Amino acid sequence: MIPLNWYLYLALALFAVGLFGFVARRNVIIMLLSIEIMLNAANVALAALGTKMQDVTGHIVVFFVIAVAAAEAAIGLSLVVLLYKRFREVHLDEVKMLKG
Amino acid sequence: MEKVLFGYLAFAILASAFLVVFSRNAVKAVLWGLVMFLHQAVLFLTLQAEFLAAIQILVYAGAVLVLFLFVIYLINLREELKWPRFLGTYPLAFLVIFFFLVLAGAGISGFTPASPKGSLSPQALLSQGHTRLLGEHLFREHILAFEAAGVLLLVAVLGAVVLVRRIREEEK
């Protein structure tokens, strides 16, 4: 059996990669993809905890996280399309005004 | 054998996540994301969570990444390939991640889980299967959250339509 802590460290490292991408990259699409990476890290931790503690709630929360991630991707990407139509740009440093 | 598989999966997931963040071309980044999600589905299989592996492939690889690819193809991203420093605030981001890793690693190293609860025991998994167990608990205890997730998805679809429609009216 693989110890629980290995899964938690993997989830931590994956979350760190996603956080790095979100902070360092300025392309909105890659930033959204980094959010997905972070949500997936949380999923790994939840699924590992659910299996090792033999509690089905962890897996159910993973299910809901995936549903929320799908909704977030739809809204976020439509905002990206909107941003591109206004500014002809998806590089976030170039978007300086909230008021279009 | 288990540990070799886990090591391979961890390496593949982390390496493809790195490539998502560091690849300059957005299409390549999304395709590396596909590799990451597929490996993560196999990781769910090693945790005896077949249903989660299935919806990981269906929702992430099937729906979310295709959506990302559509938006990338809608948008002309040729400018980004010429950016000299495409990682904007590199040293500060590295510092943030370093402190985050130190703090959270210290938290995890002293972590001991509570005693097993028993609703997802290996015997129940063998006799009933993961999907059935998950479905029973989902529709008995978490039905309100399930309905709320349905409303959330509906609102997301309507919101996406409304957001993109408004600008088309303004152009006319």
ipTM given for this complex: 0.89
pLDDT for the residue numbered B124: 80
Nearest CA in chain A to B37: A40
- Each residue of A4-46: pLDDT tens digit? 888 999 999 999 999 998 888 878 889 999 999 999 999 999 9
What percent of chain B shows pLDDT beyond 70?
A: 88
Give pLDDT tens digits for B44-75: 999 988 999 999 999 988 899 999 999 888 88
Contact B100, A11 (CB under 8 A): no
A84 touches chain B (CB under 8 A): yes
Interface test with B, best of A40, A44, A80, A84 (most B CBs within 10 A): A40
Mean pLDDT of B34-45: 94
Integer CA distances (angstroms), A92 to A27, A33, A87, B20, in order: 6, 15, 10, 18
Q: Do A78 and B159 touch (CB under 8 A)?
A: yes
Q: CA-CA distance, A55 to B118, in Å (whole number)?
A: 6
Most confident stretch, A53-57, B86-90, B116-120: A53-57
Residue A47 CB partners (closer than 8 Å, separation 6+): A58, A59, A62, B44, B47, B49, B52
Q: Say if A29 is an interface residue toward chain B (CB within 8 Å).
A: yes
Q: Is B106's pLDDT higher than 70?
A: yes
**A27 dihedral zone (left: phi>0; alpha: psi -120 to 50; beta):** beta
Across the interface, whether the CB atoms of A54 and B116 are under 8 A apart is answered yes
B109 to A5: CB separation less than 8 angstroms, yes or no = yes
Q: Which domains does chain B have, with CATH numbers?
A: 1-77 (1.20.120.1200), 121-172 (no CATH)
**What's the pLDDT at B168?**
57
Q: How far is Cα of residue A19 from the mean position of the Cα atoms in its chain?
A: 9
Q: Given B48, B75, B137, which is nearest A60 (Cβ)?
A: B137
What is the residue whose two structure tokens read 């590799």? B35
pLDDT above 80 for A89 = no
- Tell whether the model's pLDDT for residue A98 goes beyond 70: no
Cβ pairs bridging A and B (under 8 Å): 229
Q: Which residues pair with A27 in a beta bridge?
A: A91
Which residue type, as a one-letter code, is found at position B25? Answer: N
Residues 5-24 of A with CB under 8 A from B: 5-10, 12-21, 23-24
Contacts of B17 in chain A (CB under 8 A): 14, 17-18, 37
Nearest CB neighbour to A82, from listed B79, B100, B163: B163
* CB-CB neighbors (< 8 A) of B46 in chain A: 2
* pTM of the predicted structure, to 2 decimals: 0.88
